[in-house]
Amino acid sequence: MNRIVVIGAGQAGASLVAKLRMLGFAGEITLIGAEPVPPYQRPPLSKAYLLGEMTLERLFLRPESFYADQGITLRLGQPVSAIDPVARTVTLGGELLEYDALALTTGSLPRHLPALIGGDLPGVHVVRALADVDAMAPEFQPGRRVVIVGGGYIGLEAAAVAAKKGLDVTVLEMAPRILQRVAAPETSDAIRALHQAHGVKILEATGLERIEGTSRVEGVSLSDGRRLAADFVIAGIGILPDTALAEAAGLEIENGIRTDAQGRTSDPHIWAAGDCASFPWRGAQLRLESVQNAIDQAELVAANMLGAGKDYAPVPWFWSDQYDLKLQIAGLNTGYDRVVLREADARSHWYFAGGKFLAVDALNDPRAYMVGKRLLEQGKSPEPALLADPATDLKLLLKA
């Protein structure tokens, strides 16, 4: 194998190509990105970068010279439009690039509010790419009114930045509570209270009927009949894996581009990693939307492209920054039937299913996060009564 092509120059793509060289692959590597900039980190887009506390240079995962130094060809600013899995070529503009092995790290696309309800009016924004945030940032002026549709992590982080900048902020959440899809009521309650303390209005169990305005956003009407004036709207209503190219090439799709435990798609010469890829996990195809997953899965795929034959067995972790709160999450809480609250110096919420420890939400509590992550790595379930007792030294649970 001499030529590896990677489609998608984001977190996973950048990790994959760097790892290939680190593992000694000496052939040709081409990393292709639709965006006009080298691979960058997305998390600061809804945090420090949006707040104006981080420069563009610091967003980049590596300086552009890194790729040249490593003999990695970067092709930026144009998407791959087709893959021919039989000829083993990809189409880039008028060119056909040949590959021996191909990796898809195409990430995900933000869901948009339908045009039918005003989703295409100027002043409606999404938060996915650098270009989205650069277009939205000038709207963040003190005193302006923003309505954020969706009380998930991205929407809430944007709300925190807007509140810090002195905007009038309303978050709309259709579900009965914010973060319902990803967290226990205890975590939702703590984060709701934090936002309310900063003056953010949180309207739960409230849907968006339509966005109003003639030439740009002027307000929103709600499912309960109310109307709110708004200068701009942010849609934080989730993402969809970017599978269009894979689908057109005839690859199997199941909750993203379907891969086996080693990251190989239904075509033996094509691999996938990051937000766009799903992998076998407890009898289903799981897809994770996190930096940890993008890096770990991409590095594993790099090793497996070179014949390592390793399976992906992640202990997922995630974080969110809102105001002075750092929320750190280890594990996946899917299927939990019990939440144990620990209030020592800080707070943490521990998820269990049938007595088995699944995940922890640690609120400004790095020790709880670290211990929770280690327990998951070791496959241990701590005693709930010990966890709940603020006198328990958490580190001792690792030795139990």
Ligand X SMILES: Cc1cc2nc3c(=O)[nH]c(=O)nc-3n(C[C@H](O)[C@H](O)[C@H](O)COP(=O)(O)OP(=O)(O)OC[C@H]3O[C@@H](n4cnc5c(N)ncnc54)[C@H](O)[C@@H]3O)c2cc1C
| By the rule CB under 6 A, 326 interacts with ligand X | no
DSSP H or E segment with residue 374:
helix 366-378
In the complex, what is the shortest distance from the CB of residue 229 to ligand X, in angstroms, rounded to a whole number? 26
Name the DSSP letter for residue 237: -
| By the rule CB under 6 A, 272 interacts with ligand X | no
The dihedral through the CA atoms of 34, 36, 39, 40 has a sign that is negative
Contact 210, 240 (CB under 8 A): no
| By the rule CB under 6 A, 267 interacts with ligand X | no
80-84 sheet: strands from edge to edge: 80-84, 89-92, 95-98
| By the rule CB under 6 A, 330 interacts with ligand X | no
| By the rule CB under 6 A, 291 interacts with ligand X | yes
Task: Give the 3-state secondary structure percentages of the chain, helix then strand then coil, rounded to 5.
Answer: 30, 30, 40
| By the rule CB under 6 A, 19 interacts with ligand X | no
| By the rule CB under 6 A, 245 interacts with ligand X | yes
Binding-site member from 31, 66, 97, 106 for ligand X (CB under 6 A)? 106
> Cα separations (Å) of 64 from 14, 73, 77, 288?
11, 11, 14, 28
Burial of 236 (0-12, 13-18, 19+ CB in 10 A): buried
Contact 279, 286 (CB under 8 A): yes
| By the rule CB under 6 A, 278 interacts with ligand X | no
Rounded CA gap, 33 and 285, in Å? 26
Rounded CA gap, 384 and 342, in Å? 9
Closest to ligand X by CB, 299 or 340: 299
Question: How many residues bind ligand X, per CB under 6 A?
Answer: 37
| By the rule CB under 6 A, 319 interacts with ligand X | yes
Closest to ligand X by CB, 24 or 94: 94
Name the DSSP letter for residue 214: S
What is the footprint of ligand X within residues 299-318 (CB under 6 A)? 318
Binding-site member from 17, 34, 178, 184 for ligand X (CB under 6 A)? 34
User: Which span (2-10, 246-254, 329-337, 375-383) binds ligand X, by CB under 6 A?
Assistant: 2-10
| By the rule CB under 6 A, 320 interacts with ligand X | yes
Rounded CA gap, 27 and 90, in Å? 18
| By the rule CB under 6 A, 85 interacts with ligand X | no
End-to-end CA distance of the chain: 48
In the complex, what is the shortest distance from the CB of residue 13 to ligand X, in angstroms, rounded to a whole number? 6
DSSP string, 215-227: SS--EEEETTS-E
User: Which span (3-11, 134-142, 180-188, 255-263) binds ligand X, by CB under 6 A?
Assistant: 3-11
In the complex, what is the shortest distance from the CB of residue 323 to ligand X, in angstroms, rounded to a whole number? 14
Closest to ligand X by CB, 88 or 394: 88
Closest to ligand X by CB, 103 or 397: 103
Q: Which residues bind ligand X (CB under 6 A)?
A: 7-13, 32-35, 42-43, 45-46, 79-80, 105-108, 127-128, 154, 242, 245, 274-276, 289-292, 294, 318-320
